[in-house]
């Protein structure tokens, strides 16, 4: 646990106050190397989303330290957290969360206009395979395409960390697979650290590192020396 | 309801209190405003009516030109449905000082009608007490217990006392506002009322009667029912009028005829008596005159004699005067001569004194000269000049001897020095000789001795004895020689010894010389001194000699002067003598003159005596004449008086006869409440409120309904998933929809109830209280009732709107399958908007702006709802401010810009031409009146089909003045135009009510005759209806000459008090009946409109509140709807500000668009409201001031900003976790 690009140390998150207290995350600890493709897996209510929220700077911890690229974001105030999200984090939502009246290109550009050294929006969209649809509005795109736009939006920010919350949750099998492949490819090609949260443990073979969470604690963490390409996984 | 659904329902309200409260309050506001304003008008009338009923305000007032007797009152009371009739006395009186005279309407206190309300003190009980108008009481700063003095005009006063103690003040239901009616007295306006007990009036006939009508109290004063009832009774009264008047006429006539007969008899007696007395007097006068004339002749003779004597005396006096004058001249000359002599003496004395002084000076001079000589001599002596000269001489001799001695010394020394070698030589020779001689002697001696020894020794031979003797002789010779030589040698030695002495002397020589020279110098100095002294002495001597010479000369002058003086003295003496001689002559003359004077005085005295006698005679004569004249005058006066008296008596008789002949059958003036001052205005104000209530609140309500409707629709749409779930669970459509319907129902009904409860109580209260500022007593009996009609209309409409909208949207949602419902709604397609086709603009927009613009256009419904909501509120505010603009200015425009005259003098119709002429002359002559224009002003009616307008026919007597009195102009173009013979100019409101334009004709009615009038132009006018026409047009239309009945006057002064003073003077002219002042009409109008101003404030405040609630609600919807989007933006790392900007850009745009469209909407609405609010008699302004646009716009924007500020907090609280949720 000594080194690591992302490192959580005794992180706890307790919701509620007074008599009813729910420990969503209980002194969780893990660490992730740079450039790894990480899958955090666990059943519903295990605390995956809380971990993601904490990592994404969307929620504050109750106690513990969260180190990302040498900085403890647990101590950030809300403004620092906003900057952290703005500059260091890319987020892929389960339901894409695109702005409905901006075209695909504009949706990507929307994210870019607030970040420091973005990539070219059109190029990124081309990379995710949407060259032909840049001028379409979200409503004119399929779910998978919308998610690709969402990924492009996250990637174009050139973030340190790409967080994906059930990226295939709302997609059919094939599309889900292609999205995962896209994520894996991006990780490999760009050397980006990607953290995918899913409840589907069938996906774990494709990850460099698998972190299993249960009842707010890390129940197992293993480093997968030979990750399997997603095409070879069936579920 | 199922338990779960019930719970869900309550949770829904708890969860989204903002939405529930929004609907609740918007509905409450709308309903409150609508029903409140609507209810105000009936409440106003009801409150007014309650006050009238409580104070038993009369329903009908009857005034008879001949008054009423008790039996007339009985007759009135006997009319069907007349509850009671009460007689009363009343008249107008003046009170106060000349400059602050006020007119009071004094009336007797009624028993059963027109009950007074006491503010302070009590009602009067005794004859000398009175009850005063509170307004007047306060304006004059009276206090209870003060006495009030009043004067009646004319001789036939009807008051028995003119002094009243003020025992109380308060109000009367006859006067509900500031106006107290008009009068023929003082300024023409009544300033206050005063009530006194009936005993204060002397009349036995009542001047007026007040009637109460059966059941009238049950009807509302301003209702048609009441009007109809009163009209019915009035008709009945008119029915008995003729009969009653005839009876009254007969009574009065009979009485008068009797009086007339008595008077005629009295007059005849008087005439006869007077004639007899006059005849006696005439005889006495004739005798007196004769006596007088005799006396006068005598007097004239005496007077002539006296005149002659007077002339003689005058001549003598004149001579005497001449003599006196000569004498005076002589005296004057003598005085001059004396003066000259005196001056001569004085001069002489001066000269003598001068001479004496001169002599004295001379003597002094001489003495001084003597003294000077003596001094000089003494000086000379003292100075020892002669001795000095002698000494000097001696000195000189000594010096010369000195010099000689010195020179001798020198030559001696020289000689000595010259001789010295010789001497030395001689001495040397002598020494040598001596030595020789001594040797020879020594030899001789030796030889002698030798011989001597030899002799002695006898040896000696005689040759030796002869040689001895020879040697002895030789020795003796030698001794002699040696002595001589020694002597020489001693001498030489002495000389030689003197060498030293000589050397010394020689050495001393230069000193001696010096001494000598010094003494010589001394000597010379002395000599110089001496000669100086001599010179001085000589100079002094010269001076002295000169002085002496002068003195001698002066002495000569003095001597001469003395001679002259003597001569002068001689002359003066002779002059003196002459003067004395003349004086004597004058004295003689004086004496003569004095004698003559005495003579003349005696003469004068005599004359004076005679004159006095004459004067006495004259006086006697004059007295006689005066007596005679007095007698004659007395006679004439008596005659005239008698004649006048007779004539007067005859005139009176004739008048009385004529009066009797003219005595018309009396007439009744039947009036009712409508004719009370400002009674109808109050009703009109209520109408105005009603009119406002017809439009303004409707719009208000529409906006409110629309917003609640939108909110409900949104709510249903938002809960699509839930609806789907419920549907999928198997709930029936009705059960699902019930939740939303209930929600809407609860909010709307709750809001409605609150709105009705609040609005119908508070708004009428505020409005009635606002009018209470003007109608003092009208808010004392508040009757604010719930007007269920309006409450139900408002609530019903609100409920129907929201429920309907909820129902429709529920039905639409429920029509879909549960599966569809549970799936997120197919997102609305992003659409390109037209703006994108303008790349110039589009490319410069960033994504948030692009999104904003697309958002605006994408949700068209929301867009239009928002725009409508904001613009509706903006329009309402604008209408509120616009109403103020339109209404507040009309009094000023009407009476400053359009009509410029300051007052209208109403002429007495019965005045003679002469009286009218007199008034005109006065008006033209009065310096402070700038101009006075005769006009014909009469009322005719014009039928609009719905009502009859009363039109003022206005015919100016002078076109030039008319142009200064009235500005005719077009309201829109502000272009002025002239009145000409092409036709009449009518006011704008008339034109619009009759729906005519220039070039068309209108029909005017008078006494059931109709006249067609061609409209030449339409002019701007706000108060009343005017038909302006020239004389020519008038003649053409009415086929008669205009008879001018009013005079419009314009003052030079601006001062109101001065205007009133002049007004009083005008009213003193018999031709002037009364005056109305433009200023007070304007003031009254302004007062009336200012209370409408309060109402407008209510409107503006309400509109502002609505704007706020609308904006809040719309923003709330906007944010709630887009929570997910906003959360996503936050996750993407947008700062709070950027997120807020993303939302507010839209709001700001919407607000701006809303303000702009609201301004447009407001203009239309304002126009509509104005025309609806206007009553027939006036027109309000049509324009909204720029400032009103600005204020409304700024207020709307400010509300938007406040709402945005509130929303900003809400935005901050949006949880990012929302973004992770699925789409609902």
The per-residue pLDDT for range B589-630, each reduced to its tens digit, is 888 888 888 888 888 888 888 888 888 888 888 888 888 888
What ipTM describes this predicted complex? 0.87
Note whether residue B860 is domain-resident: no
Instruction: Place A1 in a pLDDT band, splitting at 50, 70 and 90.
Output: very low
Task: Note down the domain range covering B419.
Answer: 385-592
Same-domain status, B187 and B98: yes
Mean pLDDT of B440-456: 75
Same-domain status, B791 and B904: no
Same-domain status, B7 and B72: no
Same-domain status, B970 and B908: yes
pLDDT of the residue at B358: 82
Mean pLDDT of B101-108: 86
pLDDT of the residue at B955: 92
Which range is most confident: B46-55, B147-156, B260-269, B287-296? B46-55
Q: B185-189, B205-209, B1155-1159, B1167-1171: which range is least confident on average? A: B185-189
Q: Which chain B residues are Cβ-neighbours of A138 within 8 angstroms? A: 827, 830
Q: Can you spell out the DSSP letters for chain A?
A: --S-SEEEEEEEEEES-TT--EEEEEEEEEEE-TT-EEEEE--TTSSHHHHHHHHTTSS--SEEEEEETTEEGGG--HHHHHHHHHHHEEEE-TT----TTS-HHHHHHHHHTTSSSPPPHHHHHHHTT-GGGTT--GGGS-HHHHHHHHHHHHHHT--SEEEEESTTTTS-HHHHHHHHHHHHHHHHHH--EEEEEES-GGGGGG-SEEEEEETTEEEEEEE-SSPPPGGG---
Nearest to B847 among A95, A113, A138 (CB): A113
3-class secondary-structure state, position B141: coil
What's the gap between Cα B11 and its chain centre?
72
Residue B1133 to residue A87, Cβ atoms within 8 A: yes
Same-domain status, B487 and B575: yes
Residue A58 to residue B1216, Cβ atoms within 8 A: yes
Instruction: Place B98 in a pLDDT band, splitting at 50, 70 and 90.
Output: low
Nearest to A97 among B855, B1124, B1138 (CB): B1124
pLDDT of the residue at B1029: 92
pLDDT of the residue at B247: 85
Q: How far is A103 from chain B (nearest CA, A)?
A: 8
Residue A211 pLDDT exceeds 50: yes
Residue A95 to residue B1132, Cβ atoms within 8 A: no
Same-domain status, B969 and B1012: yes
Mean pLDDT of B177-199: 81
Antiparallel, parallel or unpaired: β B192-196 and B102-108: parallel
Q: Which chain B residues are Cβ-neighbours of A111 within 8 angstroms? A: 1132
B721, B835, B847, best to mutate vs chain A, most A CBs in 10 Å? B847
For the stretch B909-965, pLDDT in tens is: 777 888 888 888 888 888 888 888 889 888 888 888 777 788 889 999 888 888 888
Residue B637 pLDDT exceeds 70: yes
Determine the residue of chain B that is closest to A165 in CA distance: B1220
pLDDT of the residue at B270: 79
Which pairs from B588-593 meet CB under 8 Å and 24+ separation?
B589/B323, B589/B326, B589/B327, B589/B330, B590/B327, B592/B323, B593/B320, B593/B323, B593/B324, B593/B327
Mean pLDDT of B444-471: 74
Q: How far is A186 from chain B (nearest CA, A)?
A: 20
Same-domain status, B451 and B531: yes
Q: For chain B, what is the mean pLDDT?
A: 83
Residues of A contacting chain B (CB within 8 angstroms): 49, 53, 56, 58-59, 79, 82-87, 89, 91, 93-95, 97, 99-103, 106, 109-111, 113-115, 137-140, 153, 165, 170
For the stretch B389-432, pLDDT in tens is: 788 888 888 888 888 888 888 887 888 778 777 877 877 887 78
pLDDT of the residue at B1157: 92
Note whether residue B532 is domain-resident: yes
Q: Which chain B residues are Cβ-neighbours of A94 within 8 angstroms? A: 1220, 1222
Mean pLDDT of B732-747: 87
Q: How far is B1117 from chain A (nearest CA, A)?
A: 18
Q: How far is B1216 from chain A (nearest CA, A)?
A: 6
Q: Which of B553, B575, B592 is the last residue of a domain?
A: B592
* Phi, psi torsion values for B759, nearest 5 degrees: -60, -45
Same-domain status, B793 and B899: no
Which pairs from B1182-1189 meet CB under 8 Å and 24+ separation?
B1182/B886, B1182/B971, B1183/B885, B1183/B886, B1184/B878, B1184/B881, B1184/B882, B1184/B885, B1184/B886, B1185/B881, B1185/B882, B1185/B885, B1187/B881, B1188/B878, B1188/B881, B1188/B882, B1188/B884, B1188/B885, B1189/B878, B1189/B1159
Task: Put residue A47 in one of left, alpha, beta given phi > 0 → left and psi -120 to 50 → alpha.
Answer: left
Q: For chain A, what is the mean pLDDT?
A: 85
Q: Which chain B residues are Cβ-neighbours of A165 within 8 angstroms? A: 1220
Q: Which chain A residues are Cβ-neighbours of B854 within 8 angstroms? A: 101-102
Mean pLDDT of B1130-1148: 84
Note whether residue B140 is domain-resident: yes
Check residue B1057 and report its DSSP letter. Answer: H
Residue B851 to residue A165, Cβ atoms within 8 A: no
Residue A110 to residue B847, Cβ atoms within 8 A: yes
Q: Are B933 and B958 in contact (CB under 8 A)?
A: yes
Check residue B893 and report its DSSP letter. Answer: I
Instruction: Place B985 in a pLDDT band, splitting at 50, 70 and 90.
Output: very high
Q: Which chain B residues are Cβ-neighbours of A155 within 8 angstroms? A: none
Q: Where are the beta strands (DSSP E) in B948-1031?
A: 948-956, 984-987, 1001-1006, 1009-1019, 1025-1028
Total structural domains in chain B? 4
Q: Which chain A residues are Cβ-neighbours of B1212 within 8 angstroms? A: none
Q: Where are the beta strands (DSSP E) in B378-418?
A: none
Residue B830 to residue A103, Cβ atoms within 8 A: yes
Sketch the domain layout of chain A as residue ranges: 33-60+78-232
For the stretch B650-705, pLDDT in tens is: 887 787 777 777 777 788 888 888 888 778 878 888 887 887 777 777 877 888 88
Same-domain status, B790 and B749: yes
Residue B1152 pLDDT exceeds 60: yes
B1220, B1222, B1223, best to mutate vs chain A, most A CBs in 10 Å? B1220
Instruction: Place A3 in a pLDDT band, splitting at 50, 70 and 90.
Output: low
A15, A79, A86, A101, best to mutate vs chain B, most B CBs in 10 Å? A101
Helix B679-718 with B720-729: angle, nearest 10 deg:
60
Residue B1223 pLDDT exceeds 60: no
Q: Which chain A residues are Cβ-neighbours of B1137 within 8 angstroms? A: none
Nearest to A101 among B851, B1130, B1135 (CB): B851
Handedness of CA B917, B918, B921, B923 (dihedral sign): negative
pLDDT of the residue at B827: 57
Q: Which chain A residues are Cβ-neighbours of B1131 within 8 angstroms? A: 56, 58, 85, 91, 93, 97
Q: How far is B709 from chain A (nearest CA, A)?
A: 26
Question: In this structure, what is the dihedral angle of CA atoms A59, A64, A65, A66, given to the nearest 10 degrees?
Answer: -40
Residue B1132 to residue A91, Cβ atoms within 8 A: yes
| Higher pLDDT pick, B553 / A18 | B553
For the stretch B488-534, pLDDT in tens is: 778 777 777 777 777 787 787 888 888 888 888 888 888 888 888 78
Residue B1222 to residue A94, Cβ atoms within 8 A: yes
Q: How far is A31 from chain B (nearest CA, A)?
A: 23
Place of tokens 């239901």: B173
Same-domain status, B588 and B709: no
Instruction: Place B484 in a pLDDT band, splitting at 50, 70 and 90.
Output: confident
Superfamily of domain A33-60+78-232: P-loop containing nucleotide triphosphate hydrolases (3.40.50.300)
Q: Which of B820, B853, B880 is the last residue of a domain?
A: B820
Measure the CA–CA gap between B907 and B1074, rounded to whole angstroms: 7
Inter-chain contacts counted by CB atoms under 8 A, chains A and B: 94
Residue A86 to residue B1219, Cβ atoms within 8 A: no
Same-domain status, B987 and B956: yes
Residue B151 pLDDT exceeds 80: yes
For the stretch B280-338, pLDDT in tens is: 888 888 888 888 888 888 888 888 888 888 888 888 888 888 888 888 888 888 888 88
Measure the CA–CA gap between B824 and B1224, rounded to whole angstroms: 6
Measure the CA–CA gap between B695 and B767, rounded to whole angstroms: 17
Nearest to B854 among A79, A86, A101 (CB): A101
Same-domain status, B77 and B153: yes
Q: Which chain B residues are Cβ-neighbours of A53 within 8 angstroms? A: 1216-1217
Which helix (H) or strand (E) is B906 found in, with range? strand B903-907
Measure the CA–CA gap between B514 and B478, rounded to whole angstroms: 52
Helix B788-814 with B720-729: angle, nearest 10 deg:
70
Residue B850 to residue A106, Cβ atoms within 8 A: yes
Residue B1128 to residue A97, Cβ atoms within 8 A: yes
Residue B1217 to residue A111, Cβ atoms within 8 A: no
Note whether residue B581 is domain-resident: yes
pLDDT of the residue at B491: 79
Residue A101 to residue B1223, Cβ atoms within 8 A: no
Residue A21 pLDDT exceeds 50: yes
Determine the residue of chain B that is closest to A157 in CA distance: B1132
Nearest to B827 among A110, A139, A153 (CB): A139
Determine the residue of chain B that is closest to A114 in CA distance: B1134
Residue B460 pLDDT exceeds 90: no
Check residue B456 and report its DSSP letter. Answer: I
Share of chain B above pLDDT 70, in %: 97
Nearest to A101 among B858, B1124, B1221 (CB): B858
For the stretch A87-142, pLDDT in tens is: 888 888 888 888 877 888 888 888 887 777 788 888 888 888 888 888 888 888 88
pLDDT of the residue at B1030: 92
Residue A48 pLDDT exceeds 70: yes
Q: Which of B531, B559, B592 is the last residue of a domain?
A: B592
pLDDT of the residue at B1190: 92
Q: Are B1029 and B887 in contact (CB under 8 A)?
A: no
Q: How far is A32 from chain B (nearest CA, A)?
A: 22
Measure the CA–CA gap between B183 and B178, rounded to whole angstroms: 15
Nearest to B1220 among A49, A101, A102 (CB): A49
């Amino acid at each position: 646990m000594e080194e690591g690009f992302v490192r959580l140390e005794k992180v706890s998150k307790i919701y509620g106050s007074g008599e009813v207290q729910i420990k969503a995350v209980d002194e969780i600890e893990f660490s992730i190397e740079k450039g790894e493709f990480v899958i955090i897996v666990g059943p519903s209510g295990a605390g995956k989303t809380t971990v993601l929220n904490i990592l994404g700077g969307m929620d504050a911890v109750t106690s513990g330290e969260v180190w990302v690229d040498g900085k403890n974001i647990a101590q950030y105030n809300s403004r620092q957290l906003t900057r952290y999200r703005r500059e260091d984090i890319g987020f892929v939502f389960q339901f894409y969360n695109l702005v409905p009246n901006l075209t695909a290109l504009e949706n990507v550009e929307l994210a870019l206009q607030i970040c420091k050294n973005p990539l070219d929006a059109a190029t990124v969209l081309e990379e995710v395979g949407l060259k032909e649809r840049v001028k379409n509005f979200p409503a004119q795109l399929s779910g998978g395409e919308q998610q690709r736009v969402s990924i492009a939006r996250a990637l174009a920010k050139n973030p340190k960390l790409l967080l994906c919350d059930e990226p295939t949750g709302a997609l059919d099998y094939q599309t889900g697979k292609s999205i995962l492949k896209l994520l894996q490819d991006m990780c490999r090609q760009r050397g980006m650290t990607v953290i995918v949260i899913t409840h589907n443990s069938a996906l774990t073979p494709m990850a460099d590192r698998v972190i299993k969470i249960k009842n707010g604690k890390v129940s197992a963490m293993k480093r997968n020396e030979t990750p399997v390409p997603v095409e070879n996984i069936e579920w | 309801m199922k338990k779960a659904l019930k719970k869900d329902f309550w949770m829904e309200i708890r969860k989204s209190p903002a939405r529930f409260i929004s609907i609740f309050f918007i509905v409450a506001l709308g309903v409150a405003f609508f029903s409140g304003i609507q209810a105000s008008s009936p409440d106003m009338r009801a409150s007014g009516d309650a006050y009238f009923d409580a104070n038993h305000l009369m329903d009908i007032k009857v005034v008879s030109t001949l008054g009423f007797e008790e039996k007339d009152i009985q007759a009135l009371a006997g009319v069907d449905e007349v509850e009671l009739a009460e007689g009363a006395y009343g008249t107008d009186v003046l009170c106060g000082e000349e400059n602050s005279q006020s007119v009071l309407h004094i009336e007797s206190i009624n028993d059963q009608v027109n009950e007074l309300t006491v503010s302070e003190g009590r009602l009067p009980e005794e004859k000398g007490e009175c009850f005063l108008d509170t307004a007047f009481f306060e304006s004059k700063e009276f206090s209870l217990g003060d006495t009030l003095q009043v004067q009646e005009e004319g001789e036939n006063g009807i008051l028995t006392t003119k002094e009243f103690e003020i025992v109380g003040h308060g109000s009367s239901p006859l006067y509900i506002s500031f106006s107290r009616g008009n009068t023929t007295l003082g300024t023409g306006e009544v300033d206050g009322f005063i009530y006194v007990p009936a005993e204060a009036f002397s009349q036995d006939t009542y001047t007026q009667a007040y009637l109460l009508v059966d059941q009238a109290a049950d009807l509302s004063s301003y209702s048609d029912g009441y009007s109809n009832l009163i009209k019915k009774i009035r008709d009945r009264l008119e029915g008995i009028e003729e009969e009653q008047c005839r009876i009254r006429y007969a009574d009065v006539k009979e009485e008068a005829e009797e009086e007339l007969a008595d008077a005629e008899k009295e007059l005849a007696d008087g005439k006869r008596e007077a004639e007899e007395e006059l005849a006696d007097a005439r005889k006495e006068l004739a005798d007196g005159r004769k006596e007088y004339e005799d006396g006068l002749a005598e007097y004239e003779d005496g007077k002539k004699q006296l005149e002659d004597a007077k002339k003689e005396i005058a001549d003598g006096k004149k001579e005497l005067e001449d003599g006196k004058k000569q004498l005076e001249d002589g005296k004057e000359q003598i005085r001059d001569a004396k003066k000259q002599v005196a001056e001569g003496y004085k001069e002489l004395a001066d000269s003598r004194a001068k001479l004496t002084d001169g002599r004295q000076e001379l003597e002094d001079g001489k003495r001084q000269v003597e003294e000077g000589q003596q001094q000089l001599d003494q000086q000379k002596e003292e100075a020892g000049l002669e001795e000095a000269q002698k000494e000097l001489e001696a000195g000189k001799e000594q010096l010369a001897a000195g010099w000689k001695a010195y020179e001798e010394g020198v030559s001696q020394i020289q000689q000595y020095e010259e001789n010295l070698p010789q001497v030395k030589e001689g001495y040397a020779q002598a020494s040598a000789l001596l030595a020789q001689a001594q040797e020879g002697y020594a030899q001789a001696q030796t030889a002698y001795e030798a011989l001597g020894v030899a002799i002695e020794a006898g040896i000696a031979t005689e040759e030796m004895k002869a040689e001895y003797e020879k040697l002895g002789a030789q020795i003796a010779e030698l001794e002699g020689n040696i002595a001589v030589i020694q002597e020489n040698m001693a001498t030489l030695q002495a000389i030689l010894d003197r060498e030293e002495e000589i050397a010394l002397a020689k050495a001393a020589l230069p000193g001696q010389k010096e001494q000598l020279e010094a003494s010589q110098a001394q000597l010379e100095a002395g000599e110089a001194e001496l000669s100086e002294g001599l010179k001085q002495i000589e100079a002094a001597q010269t001076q002295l000699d000169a002085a002496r010479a002068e003195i001698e000369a002066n002495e000569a002058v003095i001597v001469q002067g003395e001679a002259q003086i003597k001569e002068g003295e001689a002359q003066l003496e002779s002059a003196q003598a002459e003067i004395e001689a003349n004086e004597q002559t004058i004295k003689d003359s004086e004496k003569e003159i004095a004698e003559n004077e005495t003579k003349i005085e005696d003469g004068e005295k005599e004359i004076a005596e005679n004159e006095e006698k004459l004067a006495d005679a004259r006086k006697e004569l004059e007295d006689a004449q005066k007596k005679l004249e007095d007698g004659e005058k007395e006679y004439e006066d008596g005659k005239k008086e008698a004649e006048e008296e007779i004539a007067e008596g005859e005139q009176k008789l004739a008048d009385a006869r004529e009066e009797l002949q003219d005595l018309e059958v009396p007439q009744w003036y039947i009036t009712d409440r409508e004719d009370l001052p400002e009674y109808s205005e109050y009703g009109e104000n209520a109408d105005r409120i009603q009119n406002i209530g017809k439009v303004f609140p409707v719009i208000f309500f529409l906006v409110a309904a629309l917003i609640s409707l939108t909110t409900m629709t949104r709510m249903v749409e938002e809960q699509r998933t839930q609806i789907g779930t419920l549907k999928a669970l198997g709930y029936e459509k009705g059960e699902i929809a019930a939740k939303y319907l209930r929600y809407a129902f609860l909010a709307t009904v709750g809001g409605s109830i609150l709105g009705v409860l609040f609005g119908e109580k508070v708004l009428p209260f505020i409005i009635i209280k606002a009018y209470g500022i003007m109608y003092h007593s009208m808010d004392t009996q508040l009757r604010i009732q719930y007007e269920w009609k309006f409450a139900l209309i408002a609530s019903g409409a609100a409920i129907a709107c929201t429920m309907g909208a909820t129902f429709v949207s529920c039905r639409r949602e429920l029509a879909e399958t549960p599966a569809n419902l549970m799936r997120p709604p197919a997102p609305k397609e992003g659409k390109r908007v037209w703006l994108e086709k303008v790349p110039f603009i589009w490319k410069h927009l960033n994504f948030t702006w692009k999104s904003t613009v697309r958002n605006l256009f994408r949700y068209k419904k929301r867009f239009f709802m928002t725009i409508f909501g904001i613009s509706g509120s903006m329009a309402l505010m604008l209408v509120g401010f616009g109403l103020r603009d339109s209404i507040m200015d009309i009094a000023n425009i009407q009476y400053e810009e359009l009509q410029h005259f300051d007052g209208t003098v109403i002429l007495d119709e019965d005045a003679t031409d002469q009286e009218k002429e007199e008034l005109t002359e006065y008006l033209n002559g009065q310096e402070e009146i700038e101009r006075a224009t005769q006009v014909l002003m009469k009322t005719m009616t014009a039928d609009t089909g719905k009502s009859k307008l009363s039109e003022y026919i206005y015919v100016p007597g002078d076109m030039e003045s008319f142009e200064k009195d009235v500005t005719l102009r077009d309201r829109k173009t502000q272009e002025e135009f002239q009145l000409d013979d092409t036709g009449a100019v009518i006011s704008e409101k008339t034109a619009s009510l009759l729906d005519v334009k220039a070039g068309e004709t209108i029909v005017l009615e008078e006494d059931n005759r109709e006249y067609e009038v061609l409209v030449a132009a339409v002019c701007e006018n706000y108060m009343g209806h005017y038909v302006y026409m020239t004389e020519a047009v008038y003649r053409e239309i009415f086929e008669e000459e205009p008879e001018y009945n009013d005079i419009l006057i314009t003052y030079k002064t601006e001062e109101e008090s001065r205007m009133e003073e002049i007004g009083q003077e005008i009213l003193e002219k018999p031709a002037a009946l009364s005056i109305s002042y433009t200023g007070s009409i304007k003031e009254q109008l302004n007062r009336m409109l200012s209370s409408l101003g309060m109402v407008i404030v209510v409107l503006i405040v309400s509109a502002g509140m609505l704007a706020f609630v609308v904006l809040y609600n719309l923003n709330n919807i906007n944010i709630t709807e887009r929570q997910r989007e906003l959360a996503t933006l936050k996750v993407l790392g947008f700062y709070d500000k950027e997120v807020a900007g993303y939302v507010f850009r839209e709001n700001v745009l919407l607000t701006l668009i809303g303000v702009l469209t609201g301004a447009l909407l407001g203009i239309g609405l304002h126009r509509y409201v104005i025309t609806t609010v206007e009553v027939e008699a006036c027109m309000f302004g049509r324009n909204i001031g720029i400032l009103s646009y600005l204020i409304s716009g700024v207020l709307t924007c400010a509300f938007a900003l406040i709402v945005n500020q509130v929303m900003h907090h809400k935005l901050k609280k949006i949880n990012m976790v929302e973004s992770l949720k699925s789409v609902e």
